[in-house]
Structure 1
Amino acid sequence: MRIGELARITGTTPRALRHYEEAGLITSRRADNGYRIYDGSAAVRVRNIRELLAVGLTLDDVRAFSVCLDGDVAASPPSERGLRIARDRLAVLDARIAAQTRARDHLATALAQAADRRPAPAR
């Protein structure tokens, strides 16, 4: 199938598919006219890549799961490396959430203080 069809059936974009290919996560062959042609099994692989990205992994992280991208990733027995990557990514996400929560709390406090300093409306 061509790149546009693969993008359509997997809910992604041709640009993302080219990016996955550059990262070595999917492969294609070239037709005589230069178009990328993907095997029908690429759809499962792309859906699994997108699912792993959706839970916060990076493309580099996803490479560690390449042996199971063609099947049911969730049902595959986890490797120690895969578990370590997932734990590390969870720690990164937790740190980002904590930083954003601190920034939000700081802004809320600053807004409350600014509202307290406003003069009463004129009558």
Structure 2
Amino acid sequence: MRHYDGLGLLQSFRADNGYRRFRRVAVVQVQQIQRFLTAGFTLEEVRSFPGCMLMIEGAALCTETKQAQRERLAAIEDQMAALERQRVALMEMLQRGTQGLP
């Protein structure tokens, strides 16, 4: 959580004993951040999202991030298509018993 705080994704304050303290909503914010990371976004990209994406568990998509999510999905689909082409090429090479030459 301290790392996310340092990036400005969470806000903390210092308790009387000097320890860093986080608001209760920080648990939800960390869960949302982790969902974005799991979906392939970088922390820098998450930092650019509006705060509404981090505040409420199960919140509806903010209109400001829908385009970024669509673009991420398109990039993943492009990667999957490229991997499928590579898989097919390798299968053909193995079936022919060649090193890729016609």
Q: What's the TM-score once normalised by structure 2's chain length?
A: 0.71
Greater relative contact order (CA < 8 Å, ≥ 6 in sequence): 1
Q: Structure 1's 36 and 107: CA in aligned 2 closer, same or farther, altered over 3 A? A: farther
In structure 2, relative to structure 1, the CA distance for the partners of 1:94 and 1:36 (3 Å cut) is same
Alignment of 1:1-123 (within 5 A): 17-30=1-14, 35-63=19-47, 64-72=49-57, 74-76=58-60, 78-79=62-63, 81-114=64-97
What RMSD over aligned residues (CA atoms) do the two structures have, in Å? 2.5
Unaligned runs of 5+ in 2: none
TM-score (norm 1): 0.62
Distance 1:110 1:65, change over 3 A: farther
CA displacement at 1:82 relative to structure 2: 0.9
Q: Supply the distance in 1 between the matched residues of 2:2 and 2:27 (Cα, whole angstroms).
A: 14
Q: How many residues align?
A: 97
Work out which of the two has the higher radius of gyration on C-alpha atoms and give 1 or 2: 1
Residue by residue over 1:4-49, the C-alpha shift from the partner in whole angstroms, topping out at 9 and shown as x without a partner, is xxxxxxxxxxxxx344233321233345776543233211110111
Q: 1:58 deviation in Å?
A: 2.5
